[in-house]
Amino acid sequence: MNRFIPECLIITMICLGVESTAHTFGVGIVTEKGKILADVKDTYKPKLGSGIVPQEAKEHHLRVKEKVVEKALEEAKLGMGNIDLVAYSQGPGLPPCLWTGMEFAIKIAGDHDIPVIGVNHPVAHIEIAKLVTGTQDPVVIYVSGGNTQVIAYASGRYRIFGETEDIPIGNAIDTFARKAGLPHPGGPEVEKLARSGHYVELPYVVKGMDLSFSGIATAAVKLLKGGKKLEDLCYSLQETCFAMLVEVTERAVAHTGKKEVLLTGGVAANKRLTEMLEIMCRERGATFNAVPLKYAGDAGAMIAWTGLLAYKSGERTEKKDPISRWRTDEVEIKWLTRGEPQV
Ligand code: AMP
Ligand code: MG
């Protein structure tokens, strides 16, 4: 860097990212150097006793989008004229929500004649997690309301080493919590109640490297109706689901030989899960990082940062329509493959 020019005057690319795959409408603004200038979100809350209703989430996004982008620009102390690139979450996600985000991104990019790029949402979770924790090449555990995957980079892609065969872990916990009359999202409530619980047996379902959570949630609900204590079921649900996740992660670490483990997604907020992973990593000689909550859930900043990485590596989005089913391992990670032999 030229030491006579103040850093603020050195021109770097700035990207505005739009997240809208499910409950959250978020706008983040990030520089090419990885500085997060703003990250604003507004989250749709389903009525008590109900899960996300896609149409309602879409209406929420439409209602808040202008306000969220204005707040983000204000937080970054920038105008749209300072933005060089607009990125949006292209999938996977709920189609009505994805369309809203894409149309909004295309509109604001078009109004200011700047390029727009589509980003894969799980890949964005991984990239922002790496950025904010400074990890280089981790085994990533991505656990949220909509996903459960154990992922690691190999030969040009983020490969899925293990994943749920049915519902995501956050969804299993939320479903149980809802049936138990707890407010949404159920994760934090279950974690609190689990502190005074004792173990009761629940099914433990690991198949090869894959996981299944729906039977566990159903069994826990059945036991609750049969008179078992709520605290005991919260404790046992956590212990069982998390032990399964740690088992698969440990095998992924052993197989890949990677030395870093990185936990992200909304369920990363859970202290018991981080404690269990910490113990496993210590025993394996790997470092463990959990993404700070602010960047563990869905947010615009992760889309902005990944949009920048993709754009700078030459990626362009020709077909802009949402891809509601888009697997993490379908994305070519061009920004990590330069100079690397492809298989
Ligand atoms: P996300 O889909 O990434 O926004 O994350 C939302 C999911 O994280 C929901 O399923 C929540 O129940 C879950 N979650 C949030 N906090 C906790 C917690 N302390 N323990 C377990 N799950 C949690
Ligand atoms: Mg997510």
Same domain, 162 and 100: no
Note whether residue 4 is domain-resident: no
The last residue of one of the domains, among 291, 307, 322, is 291
Same domain, 139 and 242: yes
- Which residues have C-beta atoms less than 6 Å from ligand 1? 144-146, 170, 173-174, 185-188, 191, 265-267, 269-270, 297-298
- From the CA of 293, the nearest ligand is 1
CB-hemisphere CA count at 13 Å for 67?
Answer: 9
Q: Whose CA is nearest to atom 21 of ligand 1?
A: 187
Same domain, 56 and 160: no
- Full residue range of the structural domain in which residue 157 is found: 135-291
Q: How far is the CA of 184 from the centre of ligand 1 (A)?
A: 10
Same domain, 276 and 318: no
Same domain, 109 and 235: no
Index of the ligand 1 atom closest to the CA of residue 266:
5
Q: How far is the CA of 296 from the centre of ligand 2 (A)?
A: 8
Beta pairing partners, 265: none
Based on the structure, what is the number of domains in the chain?
A: 2
Predicted confidence at residue 10, as pLDDT, reads 57
Predicted confidence at residue 259, as pLDDT, reads 97
Mean pLDDT by 10 residues, the chain (343 residues): 55 94 96 97 85 93 98 98 98 97 98 97 96 97 92 96 97 95 92 98 97 98 98 98 98 97 95 98 97 93 98 96 96 82 45
CB-hemisphere CA count at 13 Å for 156?
Answer: 10
The last residue of one of the domains, among 291, 307, 327, is 291
Same domain, 28 and 100: yes
Note whether residue 109 is domain-resident: yes
Note whether residue 2 is domain-resident: no
Note whether residue 1 is domain-resident: no
Same domain, 243 and 194: yes
Determine the distance from the C-alpha atom of residue 134 to the mean position of all C-alpha atoms in its chain, rounded to a whole number. 17
Same domain, 146 and 269: yes
Phi, psi of 154 (to 5 degrees): -155, 130
Same domain, 156 and 216: yes
Predicted confidence at residue 4, as pLDDT, reads 62
Residue ranges with CB less than 5 Å from ion ligand 2: 144, 298
With contact defined as beta carbons under 8 Å apart, do 176 and 191 qualify? no
Look up the CATH number of the domain holding residue 280: 3.30.420.40
pTM: 0.90
Same domain, 113 and 195: no
The first and second tokens of residue 38, run together, are 């703003």
Same domain, 102 and 118: yes
Predicted confidence at residue 341, as pLDDT, reads 47
Note whether residue 173 is domain-resident: yes
The first and second tokens of residue 91, run together, are 């999938």
